[in-house]
Chains A and B, each alone.
Chain A
Amino acid sequence: MSLEHWLKVWASLPVLLQGLSVNLALLGGLLSLGFFLGLVFAVLEVYGPKPLRLCAALYSWVFRSIPEILLLLLMWFGPAQFGVRIAPFTAAVLALGLRSSAYQAQIFRGALQAVPAGQMLAARALGLSKFQAVRHVLLPQALRLSLAGWGNEFAVVLKDTTLAYAVGVVEVMRQARYLGSREMPLTLPAYITVALLFLVLTYAGLFALGALEKRLRIPGLEARR
């Protein structure tokens, strides 16, 4: 690991950053998918009728049980059996997004259940329907409560995007390997550079979420000292 090798990795930084942009696109896709589905399943699991509640619990169980790498490979190979060719990127977003939705559903479920039961009663007493009560009274409070847990999920799935190389997505990890396979002494400097990039990204993301949490805090409410 001489200086020369570090300089070469530095010169290849644009390539690594281009790979990182693929990770960010994956992250955007999987978090959006996970957020939307996670919310739906959380609401179903807490307020839905019994059969739907069971379905939601089953969903969470399945997608939290299967190892991610296996989920990725299944999503990539599976549809081809039925003549459907899914692009590597789409397969990765689907596999990682469905998995994240199961975890996010649990985060939102916990937050929904942390909102005092009196809120629902009060909302219903004011004439809101059950759906309206969830939509306008409970969810806004629950989302605020779920930010800390959600930040954790963000930090986890950000790193999970590097697994997508297993199904042929050319993301930052794959780009680092390209550098190493072209010129082997670059392998370690390239890996360390990628690690540093993720340190920065995770910090930036968690910082932004922390700021959001602070901004959404309601003075006097939920004060814990």
Chain B
Amino acid sequence: MRTLGVAVAVALLGLAGLAAEKFIVGSDIAWPPFEWVSAKGNYLGFDLDVMRMIAVLEGYEIEIQDIAFDSIIPAVIAGKIDIGASGFTITAERAQVVDFSSPYWVSDQTVLVRADSGLNIITALLPGRKVGAQRGTTGAFWVEDNLIAQGVAVQLILYETYPEAIMDLLAGRIDAVIQDQAPSEQAVRQYPGKLLIAGIIKTYEEFGFLVAKGDPKGILPRIERGMKKLRETGAWDNLVAAYFGNPLDVIEAAWEACIPILTVERDPIRYAACLAAKVQELSQK
């Protein structure tokens, strides 16, 4: 009798396992505030929370996997992961090999310099200057397409991760770093008085989530529906208010306080409201 019970339980578990679809989300979790690892070792950030919230709304499971940025698209193509969520700018080249969701964020590039360098956005990008960027990012592509290909012979230095570019900038080995606006603002906040945003390059880049070409698993319509629900309920605005323009430790504390609402109570709308309120409360202290 007992063995029968165990067998039934195992069968039910198996069915439950089949019923809950699971998609693997790949992200380079080293790019606050879009994705980073908290002091306590949790994966958080705007992209990851949007993914988690949509998964709850649309009734599927996700597993977040940390992968180097320039490996994410190859991994999606190879079928190693199902969704790429890592602040990907929608570009024509990328759209040839993967499918994008509709844009969820608009970003410009910024030029970061040392505060004592006296460089401005023009002088920082003169021929001969050493300009750093993360490999495979649109910041690096912008330098290639709009400077080097146009005959402005800056020296482009590529880095595996963004912080390494910042380290080299601070060490004086390069003159400027080209990077999206939100992470640049984070960097300036972390090195008070040492770094400066010399200028903003209006590239109006649109970020999208990406899946394999042709969307064989039918994920994109569900992401679109999820984003629509988040926008209609105000959860989207709350998430933006929480994640952008605030110190990371404040966001982390708020996230830890609120995340059970999403993971246990499975209520994305109330979670976003909690996060925004908590961030505001903590940053006023």
Contacts and interface: CB of A to CB of B under 8 A. Distances in A.
A177 B161 contact: yes
B100 interface: no
B25 to A, nearest CB: 12
Given A77-B74, A77-B80, A12 B39 contact: yes
A55 interface: no
A76 B80 contact: yes
Taking chain B's interface residues, is the majority helix, strand, or loop, or is none over half, making it mixed? mixed
Contacts of A167: 67, 71
Interface string B62-96: 00011110010011001110000000000000000
B41 A81 contact: no
Contacts of B80: 76-77, 80, 85
Interface string A80-93: 11010100100000
Contact of B167 (A88, A182, A184): A184
Interface in A60-114: 73, 76-77, 80-81, 83, 85, 88
B166 A184 contact: yes
A166 interface: yes
A182 B26 CA distance: 19
Query: Would you list the 4 A-B pairs with minimal beta carbon distance, nearest first?
Result: A181-B30, A178-B37, A80-B78, A168-B67
Given A180-B163, A184-B190, A188-B167, A77 B75 contact: yes
A81 B78 contact: yes
A174 interface: yes
Interface residues of A, number: 28
Contact of A184 (B78, B79, B163): B163
Interface in A181-225: 181-185, 187-188
A182 B36 contact: yes
A183 to B, nearest CB: 6
Contact of B190 (A170, A183, A188): A183
A183 B38 CA distance: 10
B279 interface: no
B31 A183 contact: no
A168 B36 contact: no
Nearest to B74: A77
Contacts of A174: 66
Taking chain A's interface residues, is the majority helix, strand, or loop, or is none over half, making it mixed? helix
28 contacts: A12-B39, A77-B74, A77-B78, A77-B80, A80-B78, A80-B80, A83-B79, A85-B79, A85-B80, A167-B67, A167-B71, A168-B26, A168-B66, A168-B67, A168-B71, A174-B66, A177-B161, A178-B36, A178-B41, A181-B31, A181-B32, A182-B32, A182-B37, A182-B248, A183-B190, A184-B166, A184-B187, A185-B190
B66 A181 contact: no
Given A77-B78, A187-B163, A182 B38 contact: yes
Contact of B163 (A77, A83, A85, A177): A177
Contacts of B163: 177, 180-181, 184, 187
Chain B's interface size range is 20 to 34
Contact of B30 (A15, A80, A177, A185): A177
B78 A182 contact: no
A76 B37 CA distance: 24
Contacts of B36: 178, 181-182
Given A178-B36, A180-B163, A188-B167, 4 more contacts: A77-B78, A181-B31, A182-B248, A184-B166
A185 B37 contact: no
A182 B251 CA distance: 12
A144 B123 CA distance: 65
A177 B68 CA distance: 11
A85 B82 CA distance: 12
A166 B39 contact: no
A182 B39 CA distance: 8
Interface string B1-45: 000000000000000000000000010011110001111010000
A77 to B, nearest CB: 5
Contacts of B26: 168
A81 to B, nearest CB: 7
A85 B65 CA distance: 13
Contacts of A165: 68
A116 B248 CA distance: 66
A12 B38 CA distance: 11
Find the residue from A12, A77, A83, A188 having the highest chain B CB count within 10 A. Answer: A77
